[in-house]
Chain A
């Protein structure tokens, strides 16, 4: 698919199901193939189909070369094959066009001949295209196989030759202008062969006839089912690739590609000799992230690194100091971090060379990988349990891969090799630890406490002006960082102009926006799970990637990238042989260069190259030396220009770049510098400013200067971790140069030259303009008659007259409030005029749009106001962030209008489900499902019209949230199922959504939990949001919400408010275009929000493709909000965003005000529609081309903007509409619940006990959710008496077993269970135990998947066996007994009781603010696995504790019959003391407080915690 408008296939993502089976002894069989295909079919719900509802996104298998089958087939084609291992087989996708194909074949034959090979024969692969979907059929290649031999070559040498030949063929075909869609080689090997294509699994089996042949045998089969976000996935992109199959996403791809490109010039390998050059380029950039990963993996493997070694290089596990691991292993990873950066992102990787097959998880372990080892000698690994039926008696072991771990089957050695063995062998191959000790450069004194910073007040002031420090920067950003070691927090979103729209000189940084992970890959939790993250890196000269020598690690080790002034001095004065430092000024001399900035940058770049050539391995780019004639070049521009210049010269890996700049001060600046190539940054002016603040007494007395500077550095470090985590990147090594930003308002000349590869889609200003802004700043600073020491106010966050413009100016607030209170439409019009007036109020892109002249229609003919209002909603605002009064008033207003309000993420008081005496309804028709799942119960879900999955929030996409303890009053706590006064945290990721297929699962869960509900997904605009929206639509969502970057918030780091996400105009247009192009638009509604203010905003939204519109900030303003931006402090003086009872009394909002506003907007919309000649709203949607750019009326910068990509309408036809028509019927008809409900009739109606039996498979998902809905509808959250409905299941339960299970239902499962058991458990009981006739020890085997009890509020769970990662995450009330768990247990728990009778993984109790866990700590090492930040580990001493523990274990035995637990109770007197009790500190305090009945509201604002 080609780029069109804002749609760019580069941003496609995929998720999937993967798996493999291997016969450990290497005995090939056809049964294995059949089993593999069965697995594929059982993973089909993890894949997706496209717009034609039939074309799959891709499926395939990789197997050992089936020699006997091929012999037979060769014979049919009248040619012979030599012995296995002596010939290669190529699987080819060729062009359909005969003449082109002939040309290609001739080319291939020619190359093979020239390379000394011999074609043994060709074979057309028999296929049955009839089963394919339309799209797949249209793009189907001509599929054939070629067989070649290279005399005298066999085994690994033959394999290498085949690699070289394939690369030559690929390069030459590509040079002849044939694209990858026409010609592609899935595999070309003497060991393996790949069958793949655009299928869903069942089609796959039909399509390739070979698969049915009994001789088609292998001892290894890798299977892959793809789920792509778009509907034009291509045949070549189906997986597996030649060595790997990947489930997940490589987030750092851009940086990895760039670094690989730079390295290419210096790679060499004896194994290839001269041929090395012919392998280049290593990477085929037309491939997906997985394909590119495969390219590099192949290179490493072919160059002599073993499969495991290569994998450990590319996807290293975390080895930070918090991990208790072998020193040699740590040394291995550290050594290799000097060679290659991690390919970072969620990844479950399966790899094979045809002999060995293995699987590995990345350090975060966010993709599932479960395995079963059978007594009959097979290993089955897949994304889920139960994908293949295995007799219980045959099971030897059940397990899953933990984060960073690997498992390997060596069919030659006929054994399984576990992680420990693999890694200890590899990491001791060479003396890495000694190499490091002897070669690593660790400058003595680096990162010591900073010394005094020398400032010269006058000059400091001057420099601050040159680098445009504002008072706001100093007071609101630098000071809090120096005092509290953290970025400042703000609220109410952003309403200032984009940099390119601002009339005030902007720093170059402000033209960039952070990208962030949503849906297709998860953000990392930088606070609770930061042990996987690292800021450590090596800088200096990198050497040949394909070799390992001690000198490879002769680089400087930096613990983190922020250097103090002394650090830089030390670097400058380094006297280590082979590690020399040069300083290159990034200063523009006006006298020398006139105005030719381009020339000046070129000169700087050349100077750097010269230094590199002279052998300097560290270049300090410095903007010190500013004076009247010397102007600093924007550090970002200089850094990126030099970085890319070096990449293009193939010299980037020869030196590290350190930036010494006065410009960088806030986190975003550092993130950009590093993201565009800097290794380290020294913000000298920021340090001097801190010193000045200290000298002036503006930093509190207790904080010494050194501490203040340390604090500042810590804040930057935290901020960097956060920005990395938003993109799901774990290490600074892979973040560096990854360019995870989008530019807005920079022209392509500038981008292509200095920031290549960075998206910038509306053009904008260029180098001369940027330089003009620098000159202006400089001129102002040196204007000597400007005697004021005072810096500019700033006005970026808080409004200041004559500073940055804000859409919500004081006048806007005054007029709007007056208009709605007095119900005066003319005042509304004045307000709207003020907002829409681009000359006075140019803050948004839409400000520069203009409607083309069209024939008007009489207003009477236009759709009514009432009907337009139905498209309006109030944006999500949680009860907790805003007051009860404000929340309910908004709900009542929206309900009266027949529109809908949104609960936000804070749950909802069940009292609101009842109609008020006056007939008003105060419940929110839309209820939000956010990452913390506060109050998400079966009853909550049943009482909704729409459920909204919040993937991201405009003000802080990619981040979680936090409600500080002082806002959690008794009511908020009750609604959120927590304890008053205890801080509540929403994790950055939804722990049940790490990829697109997970989202699709949650949609399924929610629809199961309330079959009448519509499900929407909230996304935030960024480049590529369109393809994500398409994926969401394919996942079954009814509506996609695109939020602009400017959306409001109750609390968010200021840098996120300002720098993450993009305007909704761009995100919405991209979404619309992508959905239409993918033929998905008519089945999904699109909503937009983000500072919508007027009818004009709505009309523009509609024209760009929105059906519906959300109002947040404006709704609050009608309720009395005056943009205090104090929501996060609980001191809202008008009672809107506070829980302080005194301040809440000041709330004066009335439903009528909001209703008036909505009516005004609708009237306004209607008037514009009449003017534009639209009679119905639907006909207006998507007609973007009736707008045109009106840039000339803006300022000097806006003239350069190009909106053509936004104002494009994709081609449509009858089936391909521009607006929503009707939802797809969501098919829940074949769920088990239908049957369960039928059988439970009597129980549901009359509460009579019933017992049922059912068998279950992994394709039965969310079992129990719909049944629970029936209970909740009848009995509310209270449910039914215990054990009213009992159901016993046998088999492997699918994901979300017992989700939202209501009180009164008991599920008993004999077998095993996949992820999300008891998600949102709402009072039900779940019992799981292994099959009675199985023989493994349950307490050592994983029988339930990851993320169990996520968001559970009530109920009981008993597991006779181990659970996976994140057991009881965000549990706020359920009671559970389990015999062992993986990493991150009880994370973010706020309530409930968890008993663990065995081992736990690492990071236990991270972010746990409530509830209790009892853990059997037999080796006394439990506390080393805990995240002790928020919890205490205590002995179990109290009587009540003893009793509770004993009772729970007794229950466990009663329900599951656990022999292990029986053993424990037998030895109870000895076992009991070995239990420890985990108690959250806050919770303990809160419990004590409640005990003392001290309900005094404290006013202290917690700043010690991250207040997000």
Chain B
């Protein structure tokens, strides 16, 4: 399989990006796939390992990576798509937004540079859509069973599709205006344009999945009704409860949760909101607190809105700088300094910064008080401990702060309360190995039970939960 010496003959060529000066002018996607021939060469770099760590250790949905790499190399795009589709309902999403732990785990990452797995994944699925191979797959027989899926993020969508294809009637409930959940409202368009989601939802609708949007279960529809009407319920509403920064001055105007900011901005781009209804960073000095992906999205969004200056503070220390292509912590996810495309576009990043206080005048935020911290190893617990560096206090004048410090857990809303759902210590929905909550017939998957995590994990959980629900229904 594959080209035996491909990894020696070709060098890694990932997708390229439009110039940053260009791309910040609009909200459009800016990745450029390589030519078909180049993609085939990239596929040829795959070594068809005896143990494909990409597939078995790296990829949370266990994508059959070596199989489709080889098929792409052999110019057999159709079958590559068939293989891809076996494990992943939303490859067009993961091909865009996944951090690609598969590439960290790629065997080539031991000493050279990994195969561009994510790029190839995207190329396969986009090609398949273009060629019309992505068709609705109707179930062969109807089971007569009904399943309600609460939430239309990656977990909910994957689960719904898998369940429908097993012959069950599926209704997806979404509290927002359109289906897609975090994919639609959390991820900015410049990383994931929304027609991508629409296209997939259209296929799902053709397969017979019903989408009930703008419906809040527990408010608009009662939990009781749901229990009566459906044979099984899947809770897949994500982990929407953001982590707050409860310090002095939190009440000033101009301090927002990142997700609120992104959601409104995305709705504006989609035409669901008017410009004045959103949080606008134009001409503002913006501070993003939190160095993760959400923070990064805020940076990208703020730059596009025309922010005057963008800062991003992270409380953790600066990771080590690593210039090599290979992974020093193979096959794991290496703790190295990464710079996202959004950060590249313009952003002042600081590490080991503790935000101590917000200050301002009246209700308006004007600055933040911060300090440097040192991270020390606690010899007893072997854990890193944070100590404020004496005399390192400083202030930063800002107009706006986005809190992007992660999420606590799923929202503990009336639905969950009425269903009588039990949570784990962290506030996530407690499930057992078969994705079942404490309530028989009620299942949970994705961030709702996992806590905030990757899109690709949500997809996997959605699929696995669907398997369990099917087993439960067909018992």
Contact = CB atoms under 8 A, between A and B. Distances in A.
B165 A785 contact: yes
B50 A492 contact: yes
Nearest to B168: A785
B86 A799 contact: no
A696 B64 CA distance: 20
B111 A1123 contact: no
Contact of A810 (B140, B166, B331): B331
A798 B62 contact: no
A1381 interface: no
Contacts of B108: 1133
A1146 interface: yes
Contact of B56 (A492, A697, A799): A799
A1225 interface: no
Given A698-B74, A798-B66, A810 B4 contact: no
Interface in A1099-1131: 1122-1126, 1129, 1131
Nearest to A801: B62
A393 interface: no
A785 B139 contact: yes
Contact of A1133 (B79, B110, B140): B110
B51 A1122 contact: yes
A1122 B106 CA distance: 11
Interface in A771-827: 784-785, 787-790, 793, 797-802, 806, 808-811, 813-814
Given A789-B82, A1499-B5, A801 B111 contact: no
Interface residues of A, number: 43
B110 A697 contact: no
Nearest to A1126: B47
A801 B56 contact: yes
Contacts of A1148: 111
B141 A785 contact: yes
A67 B64 CA distance: 84
A696 B4 contact: no
A1142 B7 CA distance: 12
B57 interface: yes
A551 interface: no
A1131 B5 contact: yes
A262 B8 CA distance: 61
B1 A1124 contact: no
A798 B110 CA distance: 19
Interface string B71-106: 000101001001100100000000000000000000
A112 B199 CA distance: 98
A798 B48 CA distance: 8
B397 interface: no
Interface in B1-60: 1, 4-5, 7-8, 47-53, 55-57
A1501 B76 contact: no
A447 B311 CA distance: 78
A813 B107 CA distance: 12
A475 B53 CA distance: 20
B110 A1122 contact: yes
Contact of A696 (B56, B76, B111): B76
A1129 B2 CA distance: 12
B167 interface: yes
A403 B74 CA distance: 50
B8 A1142 contact: yes
A822 B474 CA distance: 49
Interface string A441-474: 0000000000000000000000000000001000
Given A787-B165, A814-B57, A793 B8 contact: no
* A-side interface mostly: loop
A790 B87 CA distance: 11
Contact of B4 (A475, A790, A1501): A1501
A814 B332 CA distance: 10
B424 to A, nearest CB: 24
B6 to A, nearest CB: 9
Contacts of A471: 67
B137 interface: yes
Interface string B129-172: 00000000101110000000000000000000000011100000
A809 B7 CA distance: 23
A803 to B, nearest CB: 10
A1125 B52 CA distance: 11
Interface string B369-408: 0000000000000000000000000000000000000000
Given A784-B141, A785-B167, A1124-B50, A790 B82 contact: yes
Contacts of A788: 82, 86
Nearest to A813: B51
A811 to B, nearest CB: 7
A1134 B51 CA distance: 14
B107 A1122 contact: yes
A1156 to B, nearest CB: 19
Contacts of B74: 698
Contacts of A797: 50
Contacts of B167: 785
A475 B139 CA distance: 29
Nearest to A783: B140
A1124 B137 contact: no
B50 A799 contact: yes
A699 B424 CA distance: 54
A785 B51 contact: no
A476 interface: yes
Contacts of A800: 52, 55-56, 64
Contacts of A1122: 49-51, 53, 107, 110
A407 B9 CA distance: 63
Contacts of A1140: 8
Given A475-B1, A814-B57, A1123 B50 contact: yes
Contact of B166 (A785, A811, A1123, A1146): A785
A813 B52 CA distance: 12
A810 B51 contact: yes
A697 B8 contact: no
B4 A1131 contact: yes
Contact of A793 (B5, B64, B137): B64
B62 A802 contact: yes
B137 A787 contact: yes
A665 B266 CA distance: 55
A784 B55 CA distance: 28
A708 B362 CA distance: 83
A311 B405 CA distance: 91
Contacts of A784: 140-141
A923 B52 CA distance: 34
Nearest to A492: B50
Contacts of A811: 57
Contacts of B49: 798, 1122-1125
Contacts of B66: 798
Contacts of A802: 62
A1129 B48 CA distance: 12
B53 A793 contact: no
Nearest to A1499: B5
Contacts of A1129: 4
B86 A787 contact: no
A1146 B110 CA distance: 9
Contacts of B110: 1122, 1133-1134, 1146
A801 B140 contact: no
Nearest to A1132: B47
Nearest to B139: A785
A784 B141 CA distance: 8
Given A787-B140, A788-B86, A1122-B51, 9 more contacts: A471-B67, A476-B1, A801-B62, A808-B51, A814-B331, A1126-B47, A1133-B111, A1134-B110, A1146-B111
26 contacts: A492-B50, A696-B76, A697-B76, A785-B139, A793-B67, A798-B50, A799-B51, A799-B56, A800-B52, A801-B62, A802-B62, A808-B51, A809-B51, A810-B53, A814-B331, A1122-B50, A1122-B53, A1123-B49, A1126-B47, A1126-B50, A1131-B47, A1133-B47, A1143-B8, A1146-B110, A1146-B111, A1499-B4
Nearest first, the 3 closest Cβ-Cβ pairs linking A and B are: A1125-B50, A784-B140, A1123-B50
